[in-house]
A and B are shown apart, each in its own frame.
Chain A
Amino acid sequence: MKIPLIYNLRSVLHRPATTAATALGVAFVVLTFVGMLALANGFRAALIATGRPDNLFVLRSGADGEISSGIGRDQAAILRGYPEVAKLADGRPIASADVYVVVSKPRMDGSETHMPVRGVGTEATQVRAVRITAGRMFEAGRAEVIVGRGLAGRMRDTRLGDRLRFGQQDFTVVGHFAAGGGAFESEVWGDAETLMSVFRGPVYQSMVLRLADPASFETVKARIEGDRRLQLQVKRESDFFAEQSSLLGSVLRFIAIFVTAIMAVGAVFGAINTMDAMVAARAREIALLRTLGFGGRSVLASFLIESVFVALIGGVLGCILALPINGIRTSTTNWQSFGELTFAFRITPEILLQGLAFAVIMGLVGGLLPAWRASRQTLASGLR
């Protein structure tokens, strides 16, 4: 025979202060959990949104990132000439040989960070989906740059018309751009040839080429990497940027799990205490229920449901409290790319569900021992 749920509901409401305190404890744990998952997710999303699987991404072999890579003009020319590379109507290959550096520049609050600056080829907007959101695109050969919307407003001198100084030369910000929420939005783009002369000389750091047929990836990769004269390594562009987030992403996820696990332990202790006291205070009621004929297992289930119910209230509350975090932007240095990366907290329905599941688990674990004890309570002791 099942104990009616209305009994549990009433009991919970009968002790509003205790219920509220326990639920709040769970709520804060869930809040932290969801918040940290959202942080890790936002970070991952920024990098996953970067790059396409049908773009070939080329670095010097042995380099672990664009910063430490170098590709010569002649190598770039050879790659451009490959038949598998997609072409525009007029026959120009859809490709871009990029210069990539990070320059020390201040954020709005004065703290210094490394601003990623990418010099791109003339076909850059064809090979990567980039959309001008303000102002205009820069003109090749001129000291002009466009700023990704992630950086614009977070770093100094990034408004339209501002001047960014690189070395001896001033570059005018003529536009802002969006790139589907990806890492490029944390970069400043300019003309490769112009920036080359300012930075490191006649060497590119990376090259990206669109494949006419995505299925040809393996063949092309084998050919390029097999050519000993070239000394290059090849990845899918999307894979490269996803890998660039792996370290920091793992650290963020580790911290999230570590912190939340510990908090959960504390909250579970609290839940056990609460349930314990409830069981003790309701010894008479339990004995009564047993007298009426409800079995031990019904009592167990009943108390467990109550514990989960309170925890679930806390879980829902925690999720609601976490919602305002969604969309808050933050930035940090990505250790692998060495450049500033801005990203936003990203709460998804999955994360919210995970938060709720976590709350339920806390309710189960916290309620198990007391509920089991309640079910084992002898009739005599309860009616004493």
Chain B
Amino acid sequence: MTRTTLVLANLRRRLRRTILTVLGLAVALFLFVSLRTFLHTLQTLGDVGSESRLVISNKLGIVFPLPLAYRARVAGMDGVHTVSHASWFGGTYGDGRSFFASFAVDPDSYFSLYPEIVLPPEQRAAFMADRTGAVVGVKLMERFGWKLHQTVTLRGTIYPGDHAFTIRGVYTAGKKGFDQGSFMFHHRYLEERTRDQGGAGLTGWYVLGVTDPERAPGIARTIDAWYENSSAPTRSQTEKAFNLAFVGLYGNIGFFLNAIGMAVVFAILMVAANTMAMSARERFSEIAVLKTLGFSDGEVMRLVVIEALVISLLGLLLGLGAAMLVFNIVQFDLGGFVPGLSVTPQIAAIGAGVALLIAVASGVVPAWQAGRLRVVDALRYTA
């Protein structure tokens, strides 16, 4: 038997209460960690972007196109090894309720710029040979239950009408966090289908591969300067910056998520503190006995705090464990909208910190009371 035995025995005394407190803590920590994970992933969407790829879009905004004519000049730049272009298609499938990304690309250059798109060579060859072919992410295939070589019809929102494609390739992500739910097809096919709608000679954006990431900002500035006074001025930035800009669209959602996280922590702190105080109050006579036996004030306080710590630790293991299960293992991703949700070591550490804080805050008053307890008052009876 050790001091640990005493602490554990005390926790077992009112098992239901201990379990409820631990569960309450676990629930709160799960929520807290989930919110932080969501926030963190949103903020690091930009990290998936590469520093050695530049995105050139219309300065006015992503909804405005760029002339295909820019390509030749940009490709000739010193420091640029590959140029590709792509256009947002915005197609829907079936009843149109399930969102996915669809865009037309310049295939060879695009795939060589994105080694993260992993495609078996024979599928790539089949795609290149079929101008109506499509390369689809594995997650999207699963969602709609498509099969390789199946012909699917997408309804255009920007380019009206129904457009047929044949799935020639299924890609997976070669890098963690890279999206696996996109639909890509030949840019030429898009130009063909939209010839009468004024889409000729236009593209949505360019992607450049630069040989030296250090030179990327300089190259971006040069390109933007070239076209500054044209009818389609450009804005060039690293892919990382481009992705981060999308995160910025969410506004102060980060602030709100943090606020909610705080409220959660406070609420559970009330619960934990209450429980600790109740337990301690019931045991004042025992604490007096311990002091009689010679346990010092400090030692008695430590016992109370350790009890609070054990409860917190159990709650942390459960709550953090559940979160890691949901995000890291099952890989829940909010229906495809936020891929790559994952509890990082930093987030786990913050969760542990919160659990520690709750333990200390809820245990400090009962511990202090225990330390100050006078034996003669607690064990008072007729003399």
Q: Which residues of A contact B (CB under 8 A)?
A: 17-18, 21-22, 24-25, 28-29, 31-32, 36, 39, 60-65, 67-68, 70, 101-104, 111-114, 166-168, 199-201, 203, 231, 259, 262-263, 265-267, 269-270, 272-274, 276-277, 281, 330-333, 338
Contacts and interface: CB of A to CB of B under 8 A. Distances in A.
Interface string B264-278: 101110110111011
27 contacts: A17-B277, A22-B270, A24-B270, A25-B270, A28-B266, A31-B263, A61-B160, A101-B61, A103-B61, A104-B59, A104-B245, A112-B245, A114-B61, A201-B198, A259-B31, A259-B35, A262-B27, A262-B28, A263-B27, A263-B31, A266-B28, A269-B21, A270-B275, A274-B278, A277-B278, A332-B253, A333-B249
Contacts of B271: 21, 25, 266-267, 269-270, 273
Contacts of A65: 157
B234 to A, nearest CB: 12
A203, A231, A270 pick with most chain B CB within 10 angstroms: A270
Q: Closest 4 interchain pairs by CB?
A: A270-B271, A269-B24, A28-B267, A25-B270
A101 B249 contact: no
Nearest to B235: A104
A104 B266 contact: no
Contact of A113 (B21, B90, B249): B249
Contacts of B249: 112-114, 332-333
Contact of A338 (B24, B63, B264, B278): B63
B24 A270 contact: yes
Interface of B: 16-17, 20-21, 23-25, 27-28, 30-31, 35, 59-64, 90, 92, 96, 155-158, 160-161, 197-198, 229, 231, 233, 235, 245, 248-253, 256, 260, 263-264, 266-268, 270-271, 273-275, 277-278, 282
B263 A28 contact: yes
A340 B256 CA distance: 18
Nearest to A31: B263
A67 B266 CA distance: 44
Contacts of A39: 256
A111 B248 CA distance: 6
A65 B256 CA distance: 28
A112 B17 contact: no
B277 A18 contact: yes
Contacts of A21: 270-271, 273-274, 277
A61 B61 CA distance: 24
A18 B267 contact: no
Contact of A62 (B31, B161, B278): B161
Nearest to B31: A262
Contacts of A333: 249-251
Contacts of A277: 17, 278, 282
Contact of A273 (B21, B263, B264): B21
Contacts of B31: 259, 262-263, 266
A354 to B, nearest CB: 17
Given A64-B92, A103-B60, A269-B23, A167 B160 contact: no
Contacts of B157: 62-65, 68
A269 B20 contact: yes
B17 A32 contact: no
A276 B263 contact: no
Contacts of B16: 276
A25 B264 CA distance: 9
Contacts of B256: 39, 330
Contacts of B24: 265-267, 269-270, 273
A28 B270 contact: yes
Contacts of A68: 90, 157-158
